[in-house]
Copies of this chain bind each other. A is one copy, B any other.
Amino acid sequence: MNTTFLKACKGEQTSHVPVWFMRQAGRYLPDYQRVRSKLNFLDLCKNPALCTEVTLQPVDIFHFDAAILFSDILVPMEAMGLPLEFHEGQGPVFPEPVRSQQAAEALRIPNPAEDMPFVLETIRLLRRELKVPLIGFAGAPFTLATYVIEGGSSRNFYATKSMMFQRPELYRLILDKITACTSSYLIAQAKAGAQALQLFDSWAGALAPCDYERFALPYVQSILADLRKHTDIPLIYFANHGATLLRHTSGLDADVLGIDWRIPLADAIRQVGPHAVQGNLDPLALFLPKTELEARIAAMLEDGKAARGYIFNLGHGVIPETDPDQVKIAVEAVHRFSSRSKQS
Contact = CB atoms under 8 A, between A and B. Distances in A.
Interface of A: 156-158, 161-162, 165-166, 205-211, 241, 243-244, 261-264, 267, 282-285, 287-289, 292, 315, 319, 321
- Interface core residue of A208, A241, A267, A285 (most chain B CB under 10 Å): A208
Contacts of A205: 241, 262
Given A208-B282, A241-B241, A282-B211, A162 B287 contact: yes
Contact of A283 (B156, B241, B282): B156
Given A206-B262, A208-B282, A208-B285, 17 more contacts: A156-B284, A156-B319, A157-B284, A158-B284, A158-B319, A158-B321, A161-B287, A165-B287, A165-B288, A207-B262, A208-B262, A241-B262, A243-B243, A244-B244, A244-B262, A244-B263, A244-B267
A158 B211 CA distance: 31
A263 B205 CA distance: 10
A166 B287 contact: yes
Contacts of A315: 208
A307 B209 CA distance: 20
A161 B284 contact: yes
Nearest to A282: B208
A226 to B, nearest CB: 28
Contacts of A261: 208
A264 B210 contact: yes
A208 B281 CA distance: 9
Interface residues of A, dominant DSSP: helix
- Return the 3 tightest CB-CB contacts between A and B, nearest first: A161-B284, A162-B287, A244-B263
Nearest to A293: B165
A289 to B, nearest CB: 7
A14 to B, nearest CB: 26
Contacts of A208: 261-262, 264, 282, 285, 315
A14 B285 CA distance: 46
Contacts of A289: 165-166
- Interface core residue of A161, A285, A289, A321 (most chain B CB under 10 Å): A161
A86 B244 CA distance: 34
8 contacts: A161-B282, A165-B285, A165-B287, A165-B292, A166-B287, A208-B264, A208-B282, A243-B243
A93 to B, nearest CB: 16
A284 to B, nearest CB: 4
A302 to B, nearest CB: 14
A278 to B, nearest CB: 16
